[in-house]
Structure 1
Amino acid sequence: MRVKALPVLIASLALFAPATHAQTSVVLYGAIDNNIEYVSNLGTQAPSAANGFNAGPGGNAVRLTSGALSGSRFGLRGTEDLGSGMKALFVLENGFGSDDGKLQQGGRIFGRQAYLGLDHASFGRVTFGRQYSTMFSALANFSPTAYASQYEPLVAQLGLDARSDNTVKYSGTFGPVGAIAHWSFGTGVTGNGEVPGQFRRDTGYGTGLTYASGPVGAAVVYSQFNPTLNAAGATGTFKKAAVAASYAVGNAKIMGGYRWGQNKAPDSSLLLRDDYYWAGLVYQLSAPLALTVAYYYDDVKKLAGTNIKNPWQVLFVADYSLSKRTDLYLSTAYVRNSGLNFDTSAISFANGYFLGAGKDNMVGVALGIRHIF
């Protein structure tokens, strides 16, 4: 009887197999973005404490660069329907230099994102892994350039922990209101965290609310991370809070925001206190052509051991779509009292636009092509 029943069992399983596969999907996606860039007054070396934060003499550079409007990437994202409004999901996203083929994000295979989670239609999503911080997610719809990686001061605005390792994150949408929160057991910014007996070390967290209804958008968000600042494992306290708003009218969308920041050393002495502002306009001039202008200003109120002039930057982007997937663009920016993207020792040296010694301004111009798949 068992031998005769075996073919029947196999046939029964075969009937269910198509339904199972139909509820599971895996998508390959990505973007490749290359441009020819001109930069003025660029220093010849990376500033560091060892060289007194001296970038060397300034000069002009012309080069092929990867990623202006989008960081070049490829990724896999998948979902599986578990029933009752629940689904499993994952994202694995690699960042690479499309000018040289090298891995980005410190040589990580999936340095942009790598997480797994559950998503419920009514209650929201919980994910686990390397992923974007609450501040990154809450302010994403209020970036004039949609977080263009070349000429928007993202590190100054969002912090070094905009991507964090070892993170648990929640997001949910309830009518026009969105709720976001995350906790990182070790951000991976200055150390691995998760050290026995040192629970606070390299941890980070944030919480935020967003609102979107018709032409109006708004967000409020707070984040903190506690980086390792010396060999003994002592941690600092880096805090940021922001508000942002947007309004769409016709073919135009205006947006802006304010971000408060305070960085303290392990002994609670003040390392940095600043107020960062931004405003922008995106205008769809025609079906294929979009224009973006933006202004950024960082009011550096207190900086331990250093006096700097407040940096400000203006940006312009013209983006022309050849198709739904391919576009040509002109991206340009001018900055005073800093390298582009506020790349100074007061804010960060995360972008590589080191202002040459004795210089007080920098210009960047990029002509590029991007393909999205």
Structure 2
Amino acid sequence: MKKIPLAAAISTALFASVSQAQSSVTLYGILDAGIMYTNNVSKGGSSGALVQATSGNISGTRFGLRGAEDLGGGLKAIFVLENGFNIQNGKLGQDNRLFGRQAYVGLSSAQFGTVTLGRQYDFMTDFVTPLTGVAGTFGDTGFIHPFDNDNLDHSERLSNVVKYTSGNYAGLVFGGLYAFSNSTEFAINRAYSAGASYQYGPFRFAAAYLQINGSAGTTSSSSGAVDINESSSNGTGGFQVGSDVQRTFGVALNYAFGPALVGFAYTHSQFQNTNSFGLTNGSVHFDNYELNAKYALTPALSVGASDTYTDAHVNGSTTYGSDPKWNQINLQAVYSFSKRTDVYAEAMYQHVTGKNYVAFINTAGGASGTGNQVVGTVGMRTRF
């Protein structure tokens, strides 16, 4: 009988165990809490300053489970279940969904790409957002464009999605998705999205398109792709009224040199047959132009700024002017104690012009009584 040294036997057993157990489940999350000051908020017929405790001013507070199982031949089964909630009161976000941020399962291959099914983000969020001031690594929720009209901050997440994302081919990644209405009225409350991103050294470019059909009047009990009440319950100030057709297109680019990063983004959004801005089945479109920059002063301290100019047209309103314009300037400083924990300070200023329009910075606590609004926030984040 051939004898095997004990150390070799143990090593062989351990290797076999690891090779047969290439599956994992990871618990992860971000906790973001802060204190916010707003100079002017209109509530209950009066206007004044507001000081409030906030949750998710930069990064939406969340926890989730992420899993993968090696199926062999470079193929993996994957899943994500991600919950959003308010850290100040513990309430669920995303219109009281248990896993309202994301919930999907799929198959992934480095060579052929990934196919997933479930509740997911569109490609404006996947490809364009990371190159803007709305990126999760930048200002995120506080820096969104007016009403999140271009969905860069995913105020409208998509349900019933079949999604394909390619592998990385020399810096190029592309994808497409379809979100089912789950109704006998097949064309009502469904969505499409496609996009691509490209990276070459310090240069990155992205473009994407999103179309949502028939979202007007939808709620969490609706069977379709979108719940327009979700952005309200999440406190994002998204474009909540719905429309017969929503079309959004965006492009963005940025360039990194040393500790600096500069970027530009343009997005265009159209809403047909909407009841916003005092309209009755009217139309609205937005053109958003954003410049952004970040600079790492030290490995622990970074600063950033973005400026977004929004040119809109409202067709047919008797209450509001037809051509409102917004300009919002955002400043941010982040100090990292570690890779997991940081503190931040932000300041946002918005100015709007046009008949009967008032300023309304996202998460400010309410619209201003004038065309100007200022918000300042200090907060803390930790990740696990």
**TM-score > 0.5, shorter chain as reference:** yes
Aligned residue type for 1:41: N
Residue 383 of structure 2 corresponds to: 372
Residue in structure 1 matching 2:263, options 251, 255, 265: 255
CA distance in 1, matches of 2:271, 2:133: 26
Residue 156 of structure 1 corresponds to: 149
CA distance in 2, matches of 1:322, 1:119: 35
CA distance in 2, matches of 1:119, 1:299: 41
CA contact (8 A) 1:75 1:92 kept: yes
**C-alpha displacement of 1:271:** 1.1
Residue 10 of structure 2 corresponds to: none
Trace 1:1-373 onto structure 2 (pairs within 5 A).
18-19=17-18, 22-44=21-43, 56-147=45-136, 148-153=139-144, 155-158=148-151, 162-172=156-166, 173-185=168-180, 193-196=181-184, 198-229=185-216, 236-265=244-273, 270-305=282-317, 306-307=320-321, 309-337=324-352, 338-341=358-361, 351=363, 353-357=365-369, 359-373=370-384
**C-alpha displacement of 1:19:** 4.6
CA contact (8 A) 2:106 2:116 kept: yes
**C-alpha displacement of 1:124:** 0.4
CA contact (8 A) 1:67 1:149 kept: no
Question: Which runs of at least 4 in structure 1 moved beyond 6 Å after TM superposition?
Answer: 14-17
Q: Which runs of 5+ in 1 are unaligned?
A: 1-13, 46-55, 186-192, 344-350
CA distance in 2, matches of 1:228, 1:273: 16
The SS at the match of 1:255 is strand
The one-character-per-residue Cα deviations of 1:214-247 (angstroms, maximum 9, x if unpaired) are 010111111100134369x996111011111111
CA distance in 1, matches of 2:92, 2:155: 19
**C-alpha displacement of 1:263:** 1.3
The one-character-per-residue Cα deviations of 1:317-354 (angstroms, maximum 9, x if unpaired) are 1000011110011011001124344x6xxxxxxx5643
The one-character-per-residue Cα deviations of 1:63-88 (angstroms, maximum 9, x if unpaired) are 11111221111000000000111000
The SS at the match of 2:143 is coil
Instruction: Please provide the CA RMSD for this pair.
Output: 2.6
The SS at the match of 1:108 is coil
CA distance in 2, matches of 1:281, 1:372: 24
TM-score (normalised: structure 2)? 0.80
Q: Which runs of 5+ in 2 are unaligned?
A: 1-12, 219-223, 225-241, 275-279, 353-357
The SS at the match of 1:68 is coil
Residue 10 of structure 1 corresponds to: none
Query: How many percent of aligned residue pairs carry the same amino acid?
Result: 35
**C-alpha displacement of 1:253:** 0.5
CA contact (8 A) 1:334 1:340 kept: no
Change (3 A) 1:230 1:320: closer
CA distance in 2, matches of 1:156, 1:19: 48
TM-score (normalised: structure 1)? 0.83
Aligned residue type for 2:149: A
The SS at the match of 1:107 is coil
Size of the aligned set, in residue pairs, is 332
CA distance in 2, matches of 1:370, 1:230: 35
